[in-house]
Amino acid sequence: MSHHIVEAQGLRYSYPDGTPALEDISLRVEHGEAVALVGENGAGKSTLLRHFTGCLFPAAGTLRIGGLPVAKEHLTEIRRAVGMVFQNPDDQLFMPTVFEDAAFGLLNLGVSEAQLEGKVMGALETVGAAHLRSRPPYRLSQGEKRAVSIAGVLVMQPDILVMDEPTSNLDPRSRRRLIELLKTFKHTRIIATHDLDFALEVCGRTIVIHKGRVTADGPTREVFGDEKILRLSNLEQPAALRKCPACGG
Amino acid sequence: MGQLAQNLTDIGYMDTLAAGFTRLHRLDPRAKLLTTALFIVAVVSFGKYEVSALLPFLLYPVYLAAQGRLPVGHLLKKVLLVSPFAVVVGIFNPFLDSGVLLRVGDFGVSGGWVSFASILLRFFLTVSAALLLLALTGMNSICEALLRLGVPKAFVVQLLFLNRYLFSLTAEAESMSRARALRSAGRGGMGFGVFIQILGHLLLKTLDRAERVYRAMLCRGFDGHIRVARFSNIGRPELLFCGAWTALFIVFRFVNLPVALGQAVTGLLK
Amino acid sequence: MHMADALLSPAVGGTMWTVSGGLLAYSAKKVREEADDRKVPLMGVLGAFIFAAQMINFTIPATGSSGHMGGGMILAILLGPWSAFLVMASVLTVQALFFADGGLLALGCNIFNLGFFTCFVAYPLIYKKIAGDGLDGRRIMLGSTLAGIAGLQLGAFGVVVQTLASGISELPFKTFVMLMQPIHLAIGLVEGLVTAGVVSFILKARPEILAAATERKPIGVSVKGALAGLTAAAVLTGAALSWFASANPDGLEWAMLRTSGKEELESGAKVHGLLASLQEKTSFLPDYGFKKAEVVHEPAAEEGGTQAAPEAGEQAPWPAVDAGTSVAGLVGGLLTLALAGLIGFALRRRNAAA
């Protein structure tokens, strides 16, 4: 199952104007792992995610997804293997109705219309959005939008799920539903987030990025236990790990 | 700002109406589009002094509104509120054309007034037909119909994207102008400088959004072609709808029913 | 300055639909040939931007009125003429549907007036000539201001010509032009200044966007060929529809016949024969100009509604020529209105019960 592995070695990237965004990122994510990517605004998380989908190419170093280097000639395979859920669902849900949006990727893969219905509805059911099928996306709530954008990615049966701030703008109940949903997935999951409580629940491992470098990489509980690292990245220890202010326990 | 917010709710409301489940809503959009087009051509094909023969055409919007369970009051208000260039230009007719055209007893009505009334009636018929088409069909289905009727795909895709994002962008425009209004200490309207700033920022946001949407499309295998899967069909209800209305429009167009009716009634009275 | 269905004859409306439809198909082909994937979402979202931006108003000092942006020129500068035309057409289509701006038949006119003149005349012939391919702020300002004015002047003139050709409005050409052009000089100036303002905002904030836009290929040589084809199509459609209208006592021809009827009254019997034969050639509409209603009112009492129809044969006369038919029309009209209302109520009741 080598194709579920993400591996970066000395990855570097600078924006066209010369601003360095990633400086020497090395990491390896194994099959089926759930990894949280945390760090302050502008740390380089989104830039790194863009490399995973082949929207950017490394300036130096290597990035391999399922054994294939991320480069122009492997784009189709890489985008087939990696499903990306965008931070703002409005950017991702561009088709007229929920059904058509979920079908967009499948049609690009050349799935026949006979198979389309079953696959799309299967994905919509997984995220609990089957009843929304003929609604236009801009009329949905944030939680519904998030669910539908995940369905649009799931339907393509990716090996690796990449998510950018999936809990942003969600009300507590929608957030809870998302957490339960993500826990059921068997995909390799890489999730950029500021929501450390969410990371603690969903991801067994956390990677901290600070100014384009990896400053910590390990089991989530351990990483979040190191307050110095967290403070350096403008992060705050999740409530679940803090000592109880009332009893000191 | 009031107007922007109003437009926003308006657009949303038209969308809600189009999501109805009456038989008219379920009709293939091509049937509704073509019938409405025929209706408009029939209405405008009358001579400029025609009023009475136009009246039977009211049946079409009345039927659509009633059968589609649409809120008549709201739609009427919309039709009347539309800034009527037609009315502004038409109002000159009574002053320019004063020959008596219509006589009822000793009372003469000039051609100008008759043609003005005709303009208003045409305006009402054509505008209400267009609005009802949208309220019964929705933008997305209209696009589907256009595509199936052979309109270039680049244009249909453009319409779909526009429709998809006009809600988001209008909401952004609205919140930007509201943010300005809240900090302008009651100093009324927006100055030119601020206006340009708001437009400029909105445009930059738009361009960034376009870039993100493009990336999202690439991530799901976009290769320059939008593939659309659709499942509607022309069946008996569609043929019946088109056929019946076409027949009625032809009758309305070539037989002046109100005059015939009036003659029968006045004849009886004599 | 949206053209409206109510002022249009089918001949003019149909011709403009054909012209705009042809331009649309050709632009779509051009955009496809450019094969720039990125443009698909870019055009779509920019269309939504124009749609939203048109609703933001600014106050014009010392006038109490407000101005807003049209947007055609900005689109042309950012996207090039072909894509800009498609986007503008899509914005106008959505407006015609959502806000009933103008109407569906008039859409052809509106796309032409607001899209064609801006994208294919003002942009290449004025903006491009002045602003060139460089990123000189002052030249861009001047170019977009002048192009904005020119585009709207042409558009307004388009409205005048289309309205008069339709013959529904009584406004004489001169009055209408004097009414429209100065107003649109002001509107065009606003449009030009707004375009210049936004473009120079972008030039300062993100010059690379404009640089990328100017790098795109200019309009190809084929523009002339396309325009020639288009003109031919327009003339053909116009002619066909006019012929249809003349075989049909309505629309375009109708206005002309009315005028000749008036002359007939004024110039007396000498030219009557000449005009009558002319009319017979152009149409089988009997030569009772409706203005004659006054004159023929007396004999009408004896002959009923058919006094003026020696040539008309079986043709039913204009319903409003005499008092009898006028009353009948009025009574019948009211009855029709009542019936339509009743049908509506009945349908609603039935639906509510169902």
**Domain residue ranges in chain C:** 5-246, 252-318, 322-354
- CA distance linking residue A101 with residue A88, whole number of Å: 15
- CA distance linking residue A75 with residue A68, whole number of Å: 10
Give the closest-approach CA distance of A27 to chain B in angstroms: 22
- Its ipTM equals 0.85
User: DSSP code of A21?
Assistant: E
- CA distance linking residue C167 with residue C175, whole number of Å: 15
- Closest partner CB to B229 (pick from A105, A116, A138): A116
Using the beta-carbon criterion (under 8 Å), do B55 and C206 form an inter-chain contact? no
pLDDT at residue C244 tops 60: no
- CA distance linking residue B225 with residue B153, whole number of Å: 9
* Strand ranges for A123-238 from DSSP E: 160-164, 188-192, 205-210, 213-219
Q: How far is CA A131 from the centre of its chain?
A: 25
Lowest mean pLDDT among A36-45, C15-24, C177-186, C295-304: C295-304
Using the beta-carbon criterion (under 8 Å), do C341 and B139 form an inter-chain contact? no
Q: Which of residues 148-167 of A touch B (CB under 8 A)?
A: 152-153, 156
* Residues B124, B157 within the same domain: no
Comparing C253 with B52, the larger pLDDT belongs to: B52
pLDDT category, B9, cuts 50, 70, 90?
confident
| Structure tokens given for B166 | 């006009």
User: DSSP code of B70?
Assistant: -
Q: What is the pLDDT of residues B57-90, one digit of tens each?
A: 999 999 999 988 888 888 888 887 765 666 777 7
Domains: count for chain B: 2
The answer to the question of residue B268 being in a domain is no
- Closest partner CB to B44 (pick from C13, C66, C69): C13
- Closest partner CB to B259 (pick from C10, C168, C332): C332
- CA distance linking residue B160 with residue A138, whole number of Å: 13
- For residue C175, the chain B residue with the least C-alpha distance is B92
Using the beta-carbon criterion (under 8 Å), do B140 and A107 form an inter-chain contact? no
**pLDDT of res. A123:** 93
DSSP assignments along A228-244, one per residue: HHHHHTT----GGGSPP
Residues of A in contact with B160 (CB under 8 A): 95-96
Of A171, A186, C79, B190, nearest to C90 by C-alpha is C79
Of C68, C87, C169, C81, nearest to C117 by C-alpha is C81
- Closest partner CB to A139 (pick from B15, B160, B228): B15
Element (H, E) at A129: none
Give the closest-approach CA distance of B269 to chain C in angstroms: 11
- Closest partner CB to B41 (pick from C90, C105, C347): C105
Residue A101: CB partners within 8 Å, gap ≥ 6?
A93, A94, A95, A137, A148, A149, A152
Using the beta-carbon criterion (under 8 Å), do A76 and B221 form an inter-chain contact? yes
- For residue B116, the chain C residue with the least C-alpha distance is C169
* Residues B122, B112 within the same domain: yes
Rg of chain C, C-alpha, whole Å: 26
For chain B, say whether A97 makes contact (Cβ under 8 Å): yes
Q: What is the pLDDT of residues B149-169, one digit of tens each?
A: 888 888 998 998 898 888 888
Cβ(C214)–Cβ(C135) below 8 Å: yes
Mean pLDDT of C302-320: 39
Give the SS3 label for residue A84: strand
- For residue B38, the chain C residue with the least C-alpha distance is C105
- Closest partner CB to C335 (pick from B40, B189, B262): B262
- Closest partner CB to A152 (pick from B140, B215, B220): B220
For chain B, say whether C212 makes contact (Cβ under 8 Å): no
Which residue stretches of chain A have pLDDT < 70?
1-3, 244-245, 248-249
Of B118, A124, A19, A144, nearest to C329 by C-alpha is B118
- Closest partner CB to B228 (pick from A88, A100, A153): A100
Cβ(B166)–Cβ(B8) below 8 Å: no
Lowest mean pLDDT among A104-118, C52-66, C92-106: C52-66
Give the closest-approach CA distance of A55 to chain B in angstroms: 7
Using the beta-carbon criterion (under 8 Å), do A90 and B168 form an inter-chain contact? yes
DSSP assignments along C205-229, one per residue: H-HHHHHHHHHSPPP-TTHHHHHHH
Cβ(B28)–Cβ(B234) below 8 Å: yes
pLDDT category, C92, cuts 50, 70, 90?
very high
- List beta partners, residue C18: none
Using the beta-carbon criterion (under 8 Å), do B212 and A86 form an inter-chain contact? yes
pLDDT category, C248, cuts 50, 70, 90?
very low
For chain B, say whether A94 makes contact (Cβ under 8 Å): yes
- CA distance linking residue B14 with residue A139, whole number of Å: 12
Give the SS3 label for residue B222: coil
Give the closest-approach CA distance of B225 to chain A in angstroms: 8
Of A39, A82, A35, A85, nearest to A63 by C-alpha is A82
Mean pLDDT of C316-332: 58
* Strand ranges for B78-186 from DSSP E: 100-104, 107-110
Residues of A in contact with B143 (CB under 8 A): 96
Q: What is the pLDDT of residues B168-178, one digit of tens each?
A: 888 888 888 88
- CA distance linking residue C275 with residue C299, whole number of Å: 23
Q: Which of residues 260-299 of C touch B (CB under 8 A)?
A: 290-291, 293-294, 297
Using the beta-carbon criterion (under 8 Å), do B221 and A108 form an inter-chain contact? yes
- CA distance linking residue C266 with residue C222, whole number of Å: 52
B-interface mutation test, from A55, A72, A84, A94, most B Cβ less than 10 A away: A94
Cβ(C262)–Cβ(C289) below 8 Å: yes
Residues of B in contact with A139 (CB under 8 A): 12, 15
pLDDT at residue C272 tops 70: no
Q: Which of residues 100-159 of C touch B (CB under 8 A)?
A: 100-105
The topology (CATH level 3) of C5-246 is Arp2/3 complex 21 kDa subunit ARPC3 (1.10.1760)
> Look-up: residue for tokens 């009741």?
C349
User: DSSP code of B255?
Assistant: S
**pLDDT of res. A42:** 87
- CA distance linking residue C61 with residue C343, whole number of Å: 52
Residues of C in contact with B198 (CB under 8 A): 56
The answer to the question of residue B269 being in a domain is no
pLDDT at residue C250 tops 70: no
- Closest partner CB to A91 (pick from B19, B143, B213): B213
- CA distance linking residue C188 with residue C315, whole number of Å: 49
Side chain identity at residue B87, one-letter code:
V
**What angle (nearest 5°) sits at the alpha carbon of residue C22, between those of residues C18 and C26?**
175
Using the beta-carbon criterion (under 8 Å), do B220 and A86 form an inter-chain contact? no
Using the beta-carbon criterion (under 8 Å), do C58 and B191 form an inter-chain contact? yes
Give the closest-approach CA distance of A156 to chain B in angstroms: 8
The model carries a pTM of: 0.79
Q: What is the pLDDT of residues A8-67, one digit of tens each?
A: 999 999 988 888 899 989 999 999 999 999 999 889 999 999 999 888 899 999 999 988
Comparing B207 with C332, the larger pLDDT belongs to: B207
For chain B, say whether C191 makes contact (Cβ under 8 Å): no
Q: What is the pLDDT of residues C203-222, one digit of tens each?
A: 888 888 788 777 665 444 45
| Class of CATH domain A2-239 | alpha beta
Side chain identity at residue B60, one-letter code:
Y
Range of the domain at B206: 153-227
- CA distance linking residue C216 with residue C238, whole number of Å: 36
* Residues B143, B183 within the same domain: no
- For residue C198, the chain B residue with the least C-alpha distance is B200
- CA distance linking residue A130 with residue A127, whole number of Å: 8
Q: Which of residues 26-85 of C touch B (CB under 8 A)?
A: 27-29, 31-32, 35, 37-38, 40-49, 51-53, 55-59, 61, 66, 69, 74
- List beta partners, residue A191: A36, A163
| Structure tokens given for A166 | 């999936």
Burial of C224 (0-12, 13-18, 19+ CB in 10 A): exposed
Residue-range domain boundaries for chain A: 2-239
